Structure 1
């Protein structure tokens, strides 16, 4: 059930898009644990809407910008963003929301979808070099609800330490999830990161940034659609590594990616380092069960 104020704001937004319907219907959809999601029907028009009563600042604006950056590559399909509203500093206020194209996605992901996604992701990585050749983004954004720092750096290892691992460590310390032994492990690992990442060529290319199986859909033509990005310009190995962390991507994805843009030797070792960022984020968001994986990877990489 939505408030009258929220309903009024949706209708007002639709009017700005040229849709004059005063009657709307929301059908709840399964989604993540962060936002509410629904199929929105207004007359003969159907949309996807996602909302949050207490989001981090500018969360949906940053999501819209991330989707726009991916769309500009003309590779992987993303839903078209039609409008967003990040709330106002007054109470009561309608929830923040983002309104998008509705893409029916009833079919399970198939081997064809994964092949398609692998080819298109490789093309995106091949042809989306960062402006200025640096790692980062012109603004910070979010990984889930965690602030993701993106200050520009010329060196990839420095970026990964200062914008990825250290901010997560600082957050874990504030959250009481960085006991002395874990802090010591991670500090020792940080010293090794330049060595672990020093024997390959790093190019800053556009990354989706949160590419796991839950952020991939099928469109009616059985082609891949990606959602919920946390974009930045980084080394492509960080993207491929995360697709392996929680499983779900079929072999066709990796085969087709490799055919277009082969990975360099040593990826199987480096992927654990890249996934440490996401495990630390999950530790901060969901708690100690992820701490065991953080500790295990840190010990392994320290050697």
Structure 2
């Protein structure tokens, strides 16, 4: 990660590999000018930097982009220590509601993102579409079908084929974090520090909430702070959780077949 120091015009005093870099190397660097920064590799550093700037422009707390190249992204290091607690969950709920209400989707009119992205080796196609059910079918569910056993593939295809009956055609195109699990929500002393590792696009705000609830449950103050959801959110949540389940199957293998099958069971597919 010496490239990071070169980009900033400083020397590295100390480097420490950070936990959570399963898909991209992440290192904390102490520089000669006293700064503590984070250097992150990955397939698309410039795109991730642009996503962080989009989130910041919409009012979300994220690390500042200090430098970027084709190989590395250098970020401000946010305070962290432990998870959200108490009022921290309310802070997250309030912040997410504001993020999901921010204007700006006209740039990609209306669902998707200007550029494709990736989770490690799993491509994330983002080419915009006018219909939200079409986007979810063509950009999120169907690209994973070749990677699945035939039985699971047929079941996912059944869901993809009837999304017009399961999802709203034109929900408000919210700016999504896109990978909002608790590991990408930093906290210090229980309070919200910021969001990291985005995979942004515009779509139904419930996508972020579905991901946040996939591997745990937010604290009780989160729901009240975020506000009420439209009727039918329970079924939509299972539809939206199919996407991260498919990503986990493709990245980590058959151990996640059970998660995927359980979601399909909930959807009657």
- Cα distance in 1 for partners of 2:149, 2:162 equals 21
Select 1:286's aligned residue among 226, 246, 252. 252
1:145 to 1:226, Cα distance in 2 relative to 1, 3 A:
farther
Q: Paired residue for 2:183?
A: 214
Structure 1 residues 114-133: aligned runs within 5 Å:
114-131=89-106, 133=109
Structure 1 residues 1-303: aligned runs within 5 Å:
6-7=1-2, 9-15=3-9, 21-52=10-41, 55-56=42-43, 59-74=44-59, 76-86=60-70, 96-131=71-106, 133-170=109-146, 172=147, 178-198=148-168, 202-219=171-188, 222-258=191-227, 262-302=228-268
For the Cα contact (< 8 Å) 1:39–1:49, is it kept in 2?
Answer: yes
Taking structure 2 as the reference length, the TM-score comes to: 0.91
Q: 3-state SS of the aligned residue for 1:211? A: coil
- Cα distance in 2 for partners of 1:50, 1:275 equals 30
1:222 to 1:300, Cα distance in 2 relative to 1, 3 A:
closer
Cα root mean square deviation, aligned:
2.1
For the Cα contact (< 8 Å) 1:111–1:250, is it kept in 2?
Answer: yes
Equivalent pairs, count: 268
For the Cα contact (< 8 Å) 1:25–1:40, is it kept in 2?
Answer: yes
- Cα distance in 2 for partners of 1:168, 1:64 equals 26
- Cα distance in 1 for partners of 2:20, 2:267 equals 35
**What are the ranges of 5 or more consecutive residues in structure 1 without an aligned counterpart?**
1-5, 16-20, 87-95, 173-177
Kindly name which structure, 1 or 2, has the bigger radius of gyration based on alpha carbons. Answer: 1
- Cα distance in 1 for partners of 2:117, 2:235 equals 28
Q: 3-state SS of the aligned residue for 1:45? A: coil
Deviation at 1:263, TM superposition (A): 1.0
Q: 3-state SS of the aligned residue for 1:223? A: strand
For the Cα contact (< 8 Å) 2:137–2:161, is it kept in 1?
Answer: no
- Cα distance in 2 for partners of 1:129, 1:215 equals 23
- Cα distance in 2 for partners of 1:82, 1:108 equals 25
Taking structure 1 as the reference length, the TM-score comes to: 0.82
